[in-house]
Structure 1
Amino acid sequence: MSTLVALARAQALAAGRAQPITTVRHLHVHDRPLVLIPLAMAGEANAPLAAMAGSAPDQPRLLVVSQPRNRDERFAFFAALAEAVVPYLDSFAGVTEAVPVDRGRDVRHRFVDAPQVWVPNPGGVDFLRLLGRSTRFRRTDGDFPVPASVPRLGQWLTFLASTAEVPGSSLLVNAVQALGGHWATGQSAAEDAHLGSLFAWITEGAAAAREAENGPVAGPATDPSFDNEVLAPLITAADPALTGVLSDLLTPTWERMWKSIELLRGRPAGARVGARWDSDRDAYSAYVEHLIEDGSPQPRRDGAVAAAARLQRLENAAARYAVQRAFDDPLVMAEHRLTGAAFGAVVTLAKADRIDDSGKRPVLRPRIMVATTETVRVEPGANLTSPARPSQKAKVISVTPGPAGTDVVLELSGGMGRKLVAEPGSVPEVGEQLLLTTLSEAYRPGAAFPDPADTPWTHGGPPGSSAEADEQEGDVVGAARGGVDQAAAQLFRG
């Protein structure tokens, strides 16, 4: 927990109401999302009890398994869930747009939109991941066949669960994390996991949150007292009243989910939210292409090389998302200013036409001096970036403390055009307020990983193993990504 979030929590406790910890919204909110609330039976691994799904607040569809231990009923539920979910996911695979790549020398195509699925909490994401694993390998012929929509549902759920691991992705969103990333309450993080309590802290206050704690849970787990006193007798007796009871249980969460979406939609989106959604559309487009051309399910596990590459992609995505949040949001950047990773300053001197001719050819290298009263924890030689000019690098030449503050001399490169004269507005002018930080959105190249065949046999290499086969099976998408993260095209890995 950061210092400012801890302060916001203390203020929320004192005020009895949640406090905002961002000034903008840091995720994409779809105009037509799909809300999916899964409910599982207690004591049974991934045994579905019910689900409420729909893409409109007034059109919930309730699916119920009257006997969760009955295999036939369970797979009938999977088929019904596929009918409710898969058409929505497929509905965006229509109109495409051309995206220039290779500096405009070529184009690729992606869909103009992508789906967005909302679940109440991280437990809902985990449930969908397990549900995908248990259905994507089911056979549609032979012994115990299932409808073709069931394994397709499993593949889609596995893809969505994989994207949920990527920081900044908005294809599969859980409401608890989305709300908690924008407001701080006066209760613990564990208590924030209760959607009803968290939502009440934001909209009504602490007193309403205490009342909401006694209300129905948001799944996928159920309340033990409800299981023993209400659910067990109904399932044992095969009572048709079970459907009405489960509808009453899930409806409050359904309503809160849609209100949460509207609450977040009402906040202005950060400047870089759109670019991250472009990456999500790239991932969706690549996976649809895979389903059309290949259609094979994701492997049960990644091989050693694929796992290492995926881990690196997730680490890079986390670092990039943290920087983008700070660049989009002054309140998030304030935390970095407290730690010395950023400082505000005013330009006092500027030489926009400075040419460096010490190399083989002259290059434009303007210098500016900035003055700040904040603590400066950077040394000469460090590279800084301004969110106002993210493509421009400012190298620290000198840091001179004084009685009234600190003067910092910076040498600029990049973002000024390709001529020896800077483009208008590309060099900060005297009097301009700047925010300078060590954070950077610069591209981070990935490491070179060996071919699976070149790894030891313990890691999937010769003389051949299932791990190697799994890795080869998993490498089914290699779409070019241009300026957008290429790794997103492979996010369907399970």
Structure 2
Amino acid sequence: MSTLTALARAQAVATGRAQPIATVRHLHVHDHPMVLVPLAMAGEANAPLAALAGTDPAAPRLLVVTQPRDRDERFRFADHLGRILISYVDSFADLTEDVPVDRGKDVRTRYADAPQLWVPNPGGEDFLRLLGRSTRFRAVDGEHPVPATVPLLGRWLTFLANSAEVPGSSLLLNAVQALGTHWATGQSSAEDAQLGVLLAWIEEGAAAARAVENGPVAGPATDPEFDNRVLAPLIERQAPELPEVLRELMLPTWERMWRVLGLLRRLPAGERVAQRWGGDKDAYTAFARYVAEGGAPQPRRDGAVAAAARLQRLESAAARYAVQRAFDDPLILAEYRLAGAAFAGTVTLAAPDRIDDSGKRPVLRPRIMVRTSETVRVEPGTSLTSPSRPGQKARVVSVSPVAGSGEFDVLLELSGGMGRKLVAEPGSVPAVGERVVLTTLSEEFRRSGALPDVSETPWTHGGPPVFEEPAPARGGPAGLVSTPGGSAGQPDE
């Protein structure tokens, strides 16, 4: 937990209300999302019990498995859920848009929008991941066939679950994590995992949160008391009222999900949210076209090289997401200022037309002096970036304390982001009196490490097996030896 988040939690305890820990929204909230509230049967590995799904807050679709141990009924549930989800994701595969590439010299085409699926909590994401794994390899013919929508559902659920692991992706989101990114409550993280309590802290305060602590759970696990007292007897006698009982159980969570979306929409979106959503549209476009072309299901597990490549992508996405959040949100950037990775100050001197002619050709290298009251923990030679000018680098030339004031003068040399001439474009160099924030964070592209081809890896990591010629036996023909006092052909003992 960061220092400012700990402070926000303490303030939440003191005031009895959740405290904002972000000034902007750091995720994309779709205008037409799909909400899915799943329930699983206790004691059974990912056995679906029910689900509320849909895109209309006033008209949720209820799917129920009246006998979760019945294999055929479970696949009928998957078939019905598949029809709903596939119809939704396919609805975005109509309109396309052109995206400039290679600095505008060329364009590529992608779908103009992408689907967005919401579940109540991380357990809902895990449920979808397991449901996708258990359905995407099912055969549509043979001894135990399933409807064609079942394996297709599994492939889409796997795609969405994998995307949820990518920091900054908004294709599959859970309400608990989305709220926790923007508000801090006066309770523990474990208590925040209950959607009803977390939402009450934000909307009404601690007193309202205590009142809903024992309310309906948001799934996918059900309340053991409800299982024993209500659910088990209904399933045992195959009661016709089971669907209505489950609907009443899940409706409060369904309504809360749409209130969460309303809360998040009230926050202004961060500047770089649209950029990350563009990456989601690219991912959706690639997978939708792969499925349409008859591509194979995702493998059960990644090979060594594929796993390493995926880990690299996730690490890069996490680093990029952290920087983008800080650049979009002054409250998050304040965390880095506390840690010494950033400082704010005022420009006191500026030489926007300074030319460096010490090299083979003259280059534009303006210098500015920034005075700051914050302790500067960067060394000369360090490269800094300003969130207001992310394409520009500021190299620290010197750091000098101002006598008797407790302040520091930081001399910086600028490069990039000023045009290609020897005269800086207007506004590209900070002017005297301008307030600037400088940080060691950078959005600069980082090339991933080179990975070997699968054929170049050892057999322990998926490469080709190694066959070695057996060494010839001692004496005589291969496999035969001569022993003293004996005849050839006797095996050596």
> Aligned partners of 1:261 and 1:227: how far apart in 2?
30
Residue in 2 aligned with 1:449? 451
Match of 1:461 among 463, 468, 489: 463
Note the 1:204-283 alignment, pairs <5 A. Answer: 204-283=204-283
Aligned to 1:190: 190
* 1:2-32 C-alpha deviation (Å, 9 max, x unpaired): 0000000010011111010011110000000
Higher relative contact order (CA 8 A, sep 6+): 1
Q: Return the letter of the residue paired with 1:370.
A: V
Query: What residue in structure 2 maps to residue 292 of structure 1?
Result: 292
Partner in structure 2 of residue 469 of structure 1: none
Structure-2-length-normalised TM-score: 0.93
Q: Secondary structure of 1:138's partner? A: coil
Cα distance, 1:294 vs structure 2: 3.2
Query: What secondary structure, in the 3-state scheme, does the structure 2 residue paired with 1:50 have?
Result: strand
Q: Which residue of 2 aligns with 1:368?
A: 368
- Return the alpha-carbon distance in structure 2 between the equivalents of residues 359 and 293 of structure 1: 54
Q: In the alignment, what sits opposite 2:49?
A: 49
What letter matches 2:154 in structure 1? Answer: G
Whole-angstrom CA distance in 2 between matches of 1:199 and 1:6:
19
- Deviation digits for residues 395-453 of structure 1 (CA, Å, limit 9, x no counterpart): 00000012321000000000001111111100111111100111111101111000011
User: Is residue 106 from structure 1 mapped to residue 109 from structure 2 by the alignment?
Assistant: no
More moved, 376-385 vs 97-106: 97-106
Residue of structure 1 in register with 2:137 after alignment: 137
TM-score under structure 1 length normalisation? 0.93
Q: Is 1:31 aligned to 2:31, yes or no?
A: yes
Q: How far apart in 2 are the matches of 1:238 and 1:371? A: 75
CA distance in 2, matches of 1:90, 1:112: 13
**Partners in 2 of 1:279 and 1:48 — Cα distance?**
32
Q: Which letter does structure 1 place at the counterpart of 2:425?
A: E
C-alpha distance in 1, partners of 2:373/2:182? 30
> Residue 394 of structure 1: SS of its match in structure 2?
strand
User: Does structure 1 residue 170 correspond to structure 2 residue 160?
Assistant: no
SS in 2 for 1:321: helix
Q: CA deviation at 1:295?
A: 2.6
Letter in 2 for 1:434: V
Q: Give 5+ residue unaligned stretches, structure 2.
A: 467-493
Residue 104 of structure 1 and its aligned partner are, at CA, apart by 2.0
2:294 and 2:372 mapped to 1: Cα distance?
58
Give the alignment's Cα RMSD to 1 decimal.
0.8
For residues 474-489 of structure 1, the aligned pairs below 5 Å read: none
Offset at residue 463 of structure 1 (A)? 2.1
What are the superposed Cα offsets for residues 334-357 of structure 1, whole Å, 9 maximum, x if unpaired?
Answer: 111111111111111111111111
SS at match of 1:307: helix
AA paired with 1:203? E
Using the TM superposition, give the Cα deviation of residue 105 of structure 1 relative to its aligned residue in structure 2, in angstroms: 2.3
One-letter identity of the residue aligned with 1:324: Q
Cα deviation, residue 362, structure 1? 1.2
Determine the structure 2 residue equivalent to 1:438.
Answer: 440
Q: What is the deviation of 1:176?
A: 0.1
Distance in 2 between the 1:263 and 1:183 partners? 11
Find the counterpart in structure 2 of residue 387 from structure 1: 387
Look up the equivalent residue of 1:374 and give its one-letter code: E
- The amino acid that maps onto 2:203 is T
Give the C-alpha shift of residue 361 in structure 1: 1.3
Deviation at 1:147, TM superposition (A): 0.9
Distance 1:306 1:25 in 2: 33
Give the superposition deviation at 1:84. 1.3
| Greater Cα radius of gyration, structure 1 or 2 | 2
Number of equivalenced pairs: 464
Aligned-pair CA distance for 1:270: 0.5
Distance in 2 of aligned mates of 1:154 and 1:401 = 62
SS of residue in 1 equivalent to 2:358: coil
Q: Which one is further off, 419-428 or 95-104? A: 95-104
> Which residue number corresponds to residue 73 of structure 1?
73
- 2:428: which partner in 1? 426
